[in-house]
Structure 1
Amino acid sequence: MTTTENVRSEEKFVPIQTRSERPSSFEPADFETPTGREVNWKHSDLKRLAPLLVDEATENIGHDGIRYGVEAIDAAGVLVESTGHEAAVRGEVFTPEDLPAAIAWKQCSNALHIQIPEGKSIGEPLVARLEGLGADIHANAHIIVEALPGSQSTVVLHHTGSAAYAQNVEIIVRDGARLNFISVQDWEDDTVHASAHQARVDSDAYLKHMVVSFGGGAVRVNPSVRLHGTGSETEMYGLAFADSGQHMESQVFMFHEGENTTGNVLYKGALQGKGARYVWIGDVLIGEGANGTDSYEKNQNLVLTDGTRADSIPNLEIKNGNIEGAGHASATGRFDDEQLFYLRSRGIPEDEARRLVVVGFLMEIVQKIGIDEIETRIEALIQEELAAGASLAPAAKAGA
């Protein structure tokens, strides 16, 4: 190849930097296998996620790859049959934006569809327990959570066991509905999990979206919320605790499309042990017609030991200057020395003081769940992670 041909070859690859410009398709063939150069893959653990990049017939909802136990949902009468790719509602909001999501769409013919009846308020959390039955099984799923107008409910996806699992979650919050959605990743350490959440919030509707990740070898949960209707509102919260060798990742997208929409994003991460890594990328787009937008996003990471890495990348794209406000913030660091000094001056031993600082840092997110059982379980997971840590000595560096 000549020098001119080399230059032309290099010019063919132009990375897509703007979140709103990324391509989407239901066909896996329309996506090239990621190389790690792409902006949405360059921070990911592609080596471990590789099984989810293969388009082949795999296990499906209701088969051996993932065992689905749905608590409280049957009794509430909210399960809706969703057979085939052309089933009602499926695809109304969701369009795959990367290869694992397109493969999951293609290979999963039947969806789990949870529908909250119009005007109904369900006080009891609707918990779908998803248990992986083997890390050597490539399982795919499409899950629909639909809150009909005026309804109020909480839906929880609780993941356990081992799996190689690609998952699409489609969330629709119709006019005037209020939905709390929580996804808990409590996997075994041999699990790889790539999940794409896409949500639309209609007029005067509210969505609280939460991602809590503790277990798994490589866990990539990317939520996207489209504030479509006038007066729509979302709160997006995330919590991740990465141990030695674990890779936790969330690429968050909040799109203000309608007028007078409100959005708030707060994600926190904690890292301990050699090779622990947490990736957070937050993109906010304020559309041309989004007058009166009020938007804010923040990511905070606490580095507990040396040998970890935290990547925190906030982005803000504004196409309308007639807004109430927009901003973002990011911080990654070790323990607050002043907090430790205060606690130790009150007679609290150093190890206990460090534990209290970490728990206090993370519990700000946990307490926003609003469900005692789940909050208690997650607090216990935090304590377990800290107890399992080899050391809680302050890191010399805050990470990259």
Structure 2
Amino acid sequence: MSLLTTNYLTPTGREEAWRFTPLKRLAGLHDGSTKVADYISLSAKATLPNGVVLSVAEASEHPASYTSTDVVTNRIREVVAKVSLLTIAKDIELTEPIHLSRKCSSSPEFSRVVIQAGVNSKSMVIIENTGNGELGEEIEINLAPGASLDLISLQEWDRTAVHLAQHHAIVSKDAQFTSYVVSVGGSVVRISPTVEFTGAGSFADLYGVYFATDGQHLEHRIHVNHNVPNAKSRVNYKGALAGDQAHTVWIGDVYIHKGADGTDTYELNRNLLLSDGARADSVPNLEIETGEIVGAGHASTTGRFDDEQLFYLQSRGIPADIARRLVIRGFFAEIINKLKSAELEERLMQRIDDELAKVGE
């Protein structure tokens, strides 16, 4: 067991990065007061294909490739002695996903995962999080030139879980990165998907789905750093809220540096309020230092359940509870259908149905 005692970075809630987050509910993962178990719960759920290796390596042999301003990420780096290293060989094209899983127990865990996608490789990685534990997580994704990687992160936590994470992708020349973050469980989930481009022709798609019910706090903070010419990014997150004190936070930051000519970017967040007592905070930000861009924009909407849609379905003989479920499924379908897995899509839709059914119980 290890205990981190440094406190010079401890957030107070007055900082912009922490003003929405309920610090008292973070189980000490943010302030160094919690004892962190010295183990790694991440493992392969199935046999890995040829050309893919999951190993445990010394953290000193795999220092971080980027500087993070996130407090929890920096605490993880101070504490963790071992990292989970997933390497994908160059020039391979995988037809089946690499499926990793983590089931957290009651012991708090700090985890650092490094994913290395080789030159011209094509792969999909699914990381499935379940259980009722407390997790501080950093995932660093390095895409070599020409690599294509889809990363699906599933937060299917039990109701008491706490999950604080940063997922940082470094996207090289002509590489393509697609992130799917799905959060449908936990007490507090705070995930920061961040991207930096290191070569022209690189592309990142960031998708997200979240569903918050009674008392849940689900927070997603996206940052896309356009610091090279001719890179492209798209961000699209959708969330629904139902139940008393359900709270979601979405922060979308896109920064286009001087010299990043030819940038093409757009970010979008939509929130659907299904009941009174729910609150969605949505803050899109766009900072541009060059006028030589293809396009840049953002949009955010938060609205209540569409009673006209519900009435339309009921007028055709569909019971109210089923009609409500169909409207919510339709809201999420745009993103969930992109997962390219019928089994996974239906599983997530069923979890959303189950969460909705719990509201008011």
Show the 5 A alignment for 1:204-243: 204-243=174-213
Structure 2 distance, partners of 1:54, 1:325, is 40
Structure 2 distance, partners of 1:61, 1:320, is 46
Find the counterpart in structure 2 of residue 374 from structure 1. 344
The code of the aligned residue for 2:36 comes to T
Q: Following TM superposition, by how much is the alpha carbon of 1:163 offset from its aligned partner in structure 2, in angstroms? A: 1.1
Matching residue within 174, 182, 185 for 2:155: 185
Kept in 1: contact 2:84–2:114 (CA 8 A): yes
- TM-score w.r.t. structure 2 length? 0.94
Kept in 2: contact 1:28–1:102 (CA 8 A): no
1:163 correspondence with 2:133: yes
1:328 correspondence with 2:293: no
- TM-score w.r.t. structure 1 length? 0.85
Find the counterpart in structure 2 of residue 396 from structure 1. none
1:110 correspondence with 2:88: no
SS in 1 for 2:82: coil
The code of the aligned residue for 1:91 comes to A
Q: Following TM superposition, by how much is the alpha carbon of 1:220 offset from its aligned partner in structure 2, in angstroms? A: 0.5
Structure 1 distance, partners of 2:146, 2:253, is 26
Matching residue within 5, 20, 23 for 1:46: 23
RMSD of Structure 2 on Structure 1 (CA)? 1.8
Structure 2 distance, partners of 1:85, 1:68, is 16
Kept in 1: contact 2:171–2:203 (CA 8 A): yes
Indicate the structure with greater strand content: 2
Structure 2 distance, partners of 1:57, 1:229, is 40
| Alpha-carbon distance change, 340 to 154 in structure 1, aligned in 2, over 3 angstroms | same
Work out which of the two has the higher radius of gyration on C-alpha atoms and give 1 or 2.
1
1:60 correspondence with 2:30: no
Structure 1 distance, partners of 2:103, 2:173, is 35
Kept in 1: contact 2:55–2:86 (CA 8 A): no
Find the counterpart in structure 2 of residue 142 from structure 1. 112
Find the counterpart in structure 1 of residue 13 from structure 2. 36
Kept in 2: contact 1:96–1:105 (CA 8 A): no
Structure 2 distance, partners of 1:219, 1:266, is 18
Matching residue within 96, 99, 110 for 1:124: 96
Show the 5 A alignment for 1:75-86: 75-79=49-53, 81-86=55-60
Kept in 1: contact 2:76–2:111 (CA 8 A): yes
Structure 1 distance, partners of 2:193, 2:18, is 15
Q: Following TM superposition, by how much is the alpha carbon of 1:28 offset from its aligned partner in structure 2, in angstroms? A: 8.4
Structure 2 distance, partners of 1:31, 1:147, is 35
Unaligned runs of 5+ in 2: none
- How many residues of Structure 1 are paired with residues of Structure 2 in the alignment? 357
Matching residue within 211, 216, 220 for 1:246: 216
Structure 1 distance, partners of 2:68, 2:226, is 20
Find the counterpart in structure 1 of residue 314 from structure 2. 344
Unaligned runs of 5+ in 1: 1-26, 392-400
SS in 2 for 1:273: coil
| Alpha-carbon distance change, 32 to 68 in structure 1, aligned in 2, over 3 angstroms | closer
SS in 2 for 1:40: helix
Q: Following TM superposition, by how much is the alpha carbon of 1:215 offset from its aligned partner in structure 2, in angstroms? A: 1.0
Q: Deviations over 1:72-95 (max 9, x none)?
A: 45443522545333214x4124x3
Q: Following TM superposition, by how much is the alpha carbon of 1:287 offset from its aligned partner in structure 2, in angstroms? A: 1.2
Matching residue within 105, 111, 122 for 1:133: 105
Which of 47-56 and 320-329 deviates more? 47-56
Q: Following TM superposition, by how much is the alpha carbon of 1:348 offset from its aligned partner in structure 2, in angstroms? A: 2.5
SS in 2 for 1:83: strand
Identity among equivalent positions (%) equals: 41
Q: Deviations over 1:264-292 (max 9, x none)?
A: 10001111111111100000011112111
Structure 2 distance, partners of 1:344, 1:185, is 33
Structure 2 distance, partners of 1:39, 1:45, is 13
SS in 2 for 1:332: strand
Structure 1 distance, partners of 2:283, 2:5, is 28
Matching residue within 55, 59, 65 for 1:92: 65
Matching residue within 306, 316, 339 for 2:286: 316
Structure 2 distance, partners of 1:28, 1:343, is 57
